[in-house]
Amino acid sequence: MNLLNDNLHFRVKSHLESVYPLLDTEQLASELITLMRLEQVLSEPAPHQNHWDASDLIMIAYGDSIHHPDETALMTLYRFLHEQCQGMINGIHILPFFPYSSDDGFAVSDFYAVRSSAGSWEDIEKISAEFRLMADLVINHCSSESQWFKNFKMAQGEGHNYFFTENPEADLSQVVRPRTSPLLNAVQTHDGIQHVWCTFSHDQVDLDFRNPEVLKEFVKIIRFYLDKGVNIFRLDAIAFLWKEAGSSCLNLPQTHELVRLLRTLIEYAQPNAMIITETNIPSRENLSYFGNANEAHCVYNFSLPPLLLHTLITGECDYLKQWMMSMPPAQDGTAYFNFIASHDGIGLRPAEGILSDQEVSQLIDLMQSFGGHVSWRALENGQNKPYEINISLFDALQGTTQGPDQWGEERFLCAHRIMLALEGIPGIYIQSLFGSQNDYERVKMTGHYRSINRHHWQYDELKEALDDPQTHHHRIFEAMKKLISIRTYQPAFHPNATQFTLHLGSQVFGFWRQSIDRRQSIFCLNNISSEPAELLLSNLNLIGTDDWYDLLSGKRCEDLHETLILQPYQSLWLSNVY
C-alpha cells in the first residue's frame, strides 16, 4: 500500500473500532475499501471544501410527480426541467424511485432497482448527467415484502440476519418514537416468533447495524448509486439507526460514527459528493450531525418551516429572530439545507423549546381550519403528541390567525423570498413551484394524510395551468422563476456568506448577508404582516458612499434617510451591487 492507501485504511479502521470494538476491524476495513473500489487511492479529499455556491438550488420531487402517456415518468420530469425550469434548477432530489410496498417509496423492497412505474436506471443516468442528483439512502429500514425479510422469515439466504429483533421484556421505555404503532412486531419465522423492531410502521422493518454484514451491504449500495450518477446522499431517518435497550435509541454515538465512516468512504470515492442527514428532531440535536465538519455536509433546517409558518400567520417574527440568532454559522465544508415545504408534513418537533404547547395547539387548529390534518407520535408515557401538520404550503398560507384573506399569494411568495435569501442551500418542493393545493382525493385514495401534498400532475394539464395568466399557478411560477434568477447571481447569497439578524421590530423580519469577499452586502427586509409597515432606512446604517438598489424591483435608493412603507408581505433585497 502507498501512503494514501495507508491513511484511508487507518481512518476507516478507526471509525470501525468505535462501533465494533470486539470485531476484527482490520479485515472489515479492507473489505469496505474493496467494496468501494478504493484499493488504489490517487488523492485525499481536501477538508473544508464548499461544493456549492449561490447558483445552487435543488428541486425536490417524486420521480412520478408528473405524468405523460408517451414516456416514463422520470423522462417527463426530465422534460419538465428542460422546458419549464431552464436556468432555474441545477440540482434535483428525486425521492425514492425504487420498488416499494408503502410510504410512497420509503419502504424499499429492492435497493438495486428502479420501479417500472417510474422508469429505468437509464432515465436516472440521463438526469444525473445534466443535473446534480440527490437520492435517498433509506438506511434505517426496508420493506417487509423485500427478499431480505422473506429470507429472515425462512432463516436462510441473503438478508436473513439483517434485521433488528428485541426481547419484548427489555426496557424500551425511553425509546423516542415518530409514530403511534407498536414498536415491536411479532413475526412467525422458521425459528419461531421473533419480535422485529419497527420504528415507523410494521411494513418498515429496521435493519441491524450491529451486524457488519448490513454495513457492508449498504457500502455496496452506495458504490452502486455513485456509479449511476448519484452525487448527494440523503441519509433517511439516520438518527434512529443504532438501537440499545435502556436508551432513547436516537442520536446514539454509534450512529454519528457510522455517518463519519460513510463520509470518509464517499469522499475518497468522489471528492465532490455530499451527505445530507434527514433528522426531523429539535434544532440542537439536528446541528450535532455537522460533527466537526466531518459528518454531514448539509443538515436539513427543520426548524425553519414551522417557525416561518408561525411568523406569517401571526404577523410577528420574534420567535423566528430568536431562533436565527441561536443558529451558528456553518463551517466551510458544511451548509444548511433550507426548505419550507416537502413531501412530508410541517414537522413540529423542531419547534420544541421555541413555541409553547399552547402556541403549537393554536397553529394546529388554524391549519385544520385551512383543510390540513395532523399526524401523531407516541410518547414514553403512552400518550400521543402532534408530530407534523399535513397540508400544502399554499393552503397553509391562505390566511392568518384572523382567517383566510386576500393576501395568500403574496404571503406564499414572501415565505420563499425569505427562504431563498437565508444562509444555506435552498430546496424547493416541486408542488411549491406552482402553488399546488390540498389533494383530498389522493388522501382518500391512499388513506395517508401525507398524500395531501403529493399531487400527481398530467404534464399537459400542468403546462396549460402554467401558461394561463388567469391561474394562480402561472402567477406563482413566474414569480418564483424571477426570484430564483435574481438570487443566482448574488455572491452575498452564497450558502456560507455572512448572515446577521436585524432588529427592526416584530413586523419586519430582516437580516444582512455579505459576500465572502466582502464586496456585496444585501439587506433582506420583509413585512411579515397583513398591515403596511414603516421602515426607516437610517436604522440600517447603509454605507452612504455606496449606491443601493432593491434587486427585486430594480429601484435605486435615492435618500438613505427615507422612511419606506412596506406593503403587506412586501420584501426588499437592498444591495450595494446591481
The cell numbers describing 495, all together, are: 450558502
Q: Report CA-CA distances (Å) from 493 to 342, 388, 516, 542.
A: 22, 30, 9, 18
- Is the distance from CB of 504 to CB of 122 less than 8 angstroms? no
- Is the distance from CB of 159 to CB of 148 less than 8 angstroms? yes
Bridge partners (DSSP) of residue 536 are 563
Outline where 349-439 has alpha helix (H). Answer: 357-369, 393-396, 408-421, 430-433
Closest CA to 187 of 196, 178, 179: 196
Rounded Cα–Cα distance for residues 444 and 425 (Å):
34
Is 344 annotated to bind a ligand? Reply is: yes
Catalytic site residue from 56, 203, 236, 439 = 236
Is 235 annotated to bind a ligand? Reply is: yes
Rounded Cα–Cα distance for residues 241 and 294 (Å):
18
Q: Which helix (H) or strand (E) covers residue 257, if one does?
A: helix 253-269
Is 207 annotated to bind a ligand? Reply is: no
Closest CA to 498 of 484, 485, 483, 511: 511
- Is the distance from CB of 118 to CB of 63 less than 8 angstroms? yes
Rounded Cα–Cα distance for residues 226 and 448 (Å):
32
Provide the 10 A C-beta neighbour count for residue 159.
19
Is 439 annotated to bind a ligand? Reply is: no
Is 343 annotated to bind a ligand? Reply is: yes
Question: Own/partner pairs for 404-407, CB < 8 Å, 24+ apart?
Answer: 404/370, 405/530, 407/530, 407/568, 407/569
Rounded Cα–Cα distance for residues 433 and 561 (Å):
37
Residue 342 dihedral angles phi and psi, to the nearest 5°: -155, 180
Q: Please, which residues have CB within 8 angstroms of residue 541's CB and are 6 or more apart in sequence?
A: none
- Is the distance from CB of 91 to CB of 59 less than 8 angstroms? yes
The cell numbers describing 204, all together, are: 418498515
Is 234 annotated to bind a ligand? Reply is: yes
DSSP states of 126-192:
HHHHHSEEEEEE--SEEETTSHHHHHHHHT-STTTT-B-B--TTS--TT---SSSS-SEEEEEETTE
Rounded Cα–Cα distance for residues 219 and 110 (Å):
15
Bridge partners (DSSP) of residue 108 are 100
Is 171 annotated to bind a ligand? Reply is: no
Is 6 annotated to bind a ligand? Reply is: no
Whether 236 sits among the annotated catalytic residues: the reply is yes
Q: Please, which residues have CB within 8 angstroms of residue 269's CB and are 6 or more apart in sequence?
A: 36, 37, 38, 223, 226
Q: ∠281-254-135 over CA atoms, to 5°?
A: 60
318: Cα within 13 Å, side-chain hemisphere: 6
Binding-site residue numbers are 103, 141, 234-236, 343-344, 450
Binding-site residue numbers for substrate are 103, 141, 234-236, 343-344, 450
As annotated, the active-site residues are: 236
